């Protein structure tokens, strides 16, 4: 399971700075649904190879009214969905009435919150935190988000260990191919889920996870085990009213993280919107295989269908490796074909390739198109091996790999994808350079001595003793 961290606090206490430090340079997933998540950002972070989701909520004052009260309620709803709540305060400003009101709201929510005293750079951290101990929160951390100080030690204590994550992992409990169905509200996710769990299914059991999780439905189809991850929940079709209030980005992001293959459902009637592209970006960041399902295809006239196809091809041209299906979840047309793409995606994501085959593909690619020259030296790529699955990770060893341009990396990715017949899944490359045995050696000659030595060598006056030539023995 992927931990979820929510950042709450008054405006200008450094939540966005901490968000940027925790997510590094990764783009935030920003929901653009009015009245719901307008002031919330969602991003992915990493710490010691562990992934987590972080939410930057809107600034709270503790006594909001009107529209501000509604936005505050949505921020507190994000707190309810989080595994870890960080309550940020300003160490320079000291304790304020707003901080006390927010702390009281957090206590009434029943969530355990950790106090984070920010902006402690240049201050005695104990003095900066002294005023805040009266809030009665269990743990207190002192950080300087703008200087990236104290954040790593805080995450080390807050994030669950690998053993705890393995104990919570869904992989052992939910068999087969895990399929995440994601998309904006009202695009037909629940209708598609119900259609996929149709006449020919054998449902093993329907067990929801915790209140913060998506619903995992193991089932069997034509002898193959699957686990469908539904972010909206399984309900009767007549009772599906997917309103904005039921939309949970956290459940969507968790479904992406836990899945082998993600089906992104688009609405053919409204076309592609920014929120769809944000979700695609998070799928690619997570390295998951992707299938595009353009829903509500029924009843559209040929001219509108042509416009939708042209828009999808133009705006999603960077996803040329992902299958795109035009379906009607309501009537079932095109839904069965999704399973063919799911099987191909899963096979590609979990494939294992021997080192000699990957190295042969690399050598053939270099023979057709050599890497460029850098500072008069050709970049050399020697061999490749596999470093992981879901997504496939290929490790390439050579010299000067840090200088390899992005265009050549894309050429290698396209070559490996074509030869290995990888469908639906991204391929990640890691380039490693061999150590230079002469790196770090000190040249003891002065510049004048070096010029003199070079001149002697050029004129043949170098007095260095030459190695005797070995005489070959004559056969007796």
Model confidence pLDDT, tens digit, residues 133-178: 888 877 889 999 888 899 999 999 988 876 666 555 555 567 789 9
Percent of the chain scoring above 90 in pLDDT: 29
Average pLDDT on 199-224 reads 58
Q: Where are the domains of the chain?
A: 4-167, 175-349, 351-470
pLDDT of residue 295: 92
Residue 475 in this model has a pLDDT that exceeds 80? no
Confidence class of residue 67 from pLDDT cuts 50, 70 and 90?
A: very low
Least confident of 142-151, 221-230, 340-349, 428-437: 428-437
pLDDT of residue 419: 95
pLDDT of residue 330: 86
pLDDT of residue 402: 87
Average pLDDT on 184-191 reads 83
Q: Are 182 and 189 in contact (CB under 8 A)?
A: yes
| Dist CA 204 CA 224 (whole Å) | 12
> Is this prediction's pTM over 0.75?
no
pLDDT in tens, 33-62: 433 334 567 777 888 778 888 888 877 766
CATH code, 4-167: 3.40.50.300
pLDDT of residue 377: 84
pLDDT of residue 30: 44
pLDDT of residue 117: 92
pLDDT of residue 247: 44
Spell out the alpha helix ranges (H) of 188-337: 189-196, 249-258, 274-286, 302-315
3-state secondary structure of 397: strand
Q: Which CATH superfamily is 175-349 part of? A: P-loop containing nucleotide triphosphate hydrolases (3.40.50.300)
Confidence class of residue 236 from pLDDT cuts 50, 70 and 90?
A: very low
Phi and psi at 321, nearest 5°, equal -85, -10
Average pLDDT on 344-361 reads 94
Confidence class of residue 348 from pLDDT cuts 50, 70 and 90?
A: very high
pLDDT of residue 207: 40
Least confident of 16-20, 25-29, 435-439: 25-29
Residue 241 in this model has a pLDDT that exceeds 50? no
Least confident of 170-184, 357-371, 441-455: 441-455
Confidence class of residue 209 from pLDDT cuts 50, 70 and 90?
A: very low
Residues whose CB is less than 8 angstroms from the CB of residue 401 and which lie 6 or more positions away in sequence, other chains included = 379, 381, 431, 432, 433
Number of other residues whose CB lies within 10 A of the CB of residue 232: 22
Q: Do domains 175-349 and 351-470 have the same CATH topology?
A: no
pLDDT of residue 310: 92
Phi and psi at 374, nearest 5°, equal -130, 120
Confidence class of residue 124 from pLDDT cuts 50, 70 and 90?
A: confident
pLDDT of residue 65: 57
pLDDT in tens, 72-93: 666 777 777 788 999 999 988 8
pLDDT of residue 393: 93
CATH fold for the domain made of 351-470: GMP Synthetase; Chain A, domain 3 (3.30.300)
| Dist CA 88 CA 113 (whole Å) | 10
Residue 282 in this model has a pLDDT that exceeds 70? yes
Confidence class of residue 373 from pLDDT cuts 50, 70 and 90?
A: confident
pLDDT of residue 271: 86
pLDDT of residue 474: 56
Average pLDDT on 98-103 reads 88
| Dist CA 110 CA 343 (whole Å) | 43
Mean of the per-residue pLDDT values of the chain: 79
């Amino acid at each position: 399971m992927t931990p979820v961290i929510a950042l709450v606090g008054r405006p200008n206490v450094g939540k966005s700075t901490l968000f940027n430090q925790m997510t590094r340079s990764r783009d935030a997933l920003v929901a653009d649904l009015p009245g719901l998540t307008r002031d919330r950002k969602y991003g992915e972070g990493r710490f010691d190879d562990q992934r987590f989701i972080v939410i930057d909520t809107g600034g709270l004052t503790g006594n909001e009214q009107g529209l501000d009260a509604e936005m505050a309620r949505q921020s507190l709803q994000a707190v309810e969905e989080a595994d870890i709540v960080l309550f940020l305060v300003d160490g320079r400003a000291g304790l304020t009435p707003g901080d006390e009101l927010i702390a009281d709201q957090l206590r009434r929510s029943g969530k355990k919150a950790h106090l984070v005293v920010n902006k402690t750079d240049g201050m005695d951290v104990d003095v900066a935190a002294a005023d805040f101990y009266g809030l009665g929160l269990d743990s207190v951390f002192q950080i300087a988000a703008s200087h990236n100080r104290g954040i790593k030690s805080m995450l080390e204590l807050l994030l669950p260990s690998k053993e705890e994550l393995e104990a919570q992992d869904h992989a052992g409990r939910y068999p087969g191919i895990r399929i995440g169905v994601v998309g904006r509200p009202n695009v037909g996710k629940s209708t598609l889920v119900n259609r996929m769990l149709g006449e020919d299914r054998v449902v093993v059991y329907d067990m929801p996870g915790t209140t913060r999780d998506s619903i995992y439905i193991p089932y069997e189809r034509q002898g193959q085990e699957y686990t469908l991850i539904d972010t909206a929940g399984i309900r009767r079709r007549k009772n599906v009213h997917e309103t904005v209030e039921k939309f949970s980005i956290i459940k969507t992001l968790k479904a992406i993280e836990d899945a082998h293959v993600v089906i992104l459902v688009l609405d053919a009637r409204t076309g592609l919107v920014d929120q769809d592209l944000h979700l695609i970006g998070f799928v690619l960041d997570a390295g998951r295989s992707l299938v595009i399902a353009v829903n509500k295809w029924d009843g559209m006239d040929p001219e509108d269908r042509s416009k939708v196809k042209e828009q999808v091809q133009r705006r999603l041209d960077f996803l040329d490796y992902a299958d795109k299906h035009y379906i009607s979840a309501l009537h079932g047309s095109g839904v069965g074909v999704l399973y063919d793409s799911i099987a191909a995606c899963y096979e590609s994501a979990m494939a294992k390739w021997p080192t000699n085959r990957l190295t042969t593909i690399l050598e053939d690619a270099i023979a057709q198109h050599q890497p460029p020259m850098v500072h008069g030296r050709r970049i050399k790529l020697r061999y490749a091996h596999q470093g992981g699955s879901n997504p496939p990770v290929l490790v390439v060893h050579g010299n000067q790999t840090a200088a390899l341009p992005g265009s050549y990396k894309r050429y290698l990715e396209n070559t490996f994808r074509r030869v290995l017949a990888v469908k639906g899944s991204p391929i990640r490359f890691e380039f490693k350079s061999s150590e230079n045995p002469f790196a770090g050696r000190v040249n003891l000659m002065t510049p004048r001595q070096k010029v003199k030595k070079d001149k002697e060598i050029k004129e043949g006056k170098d007095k260095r003793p030459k190695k005797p030539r070995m005489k070959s023995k004559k056969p007796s």
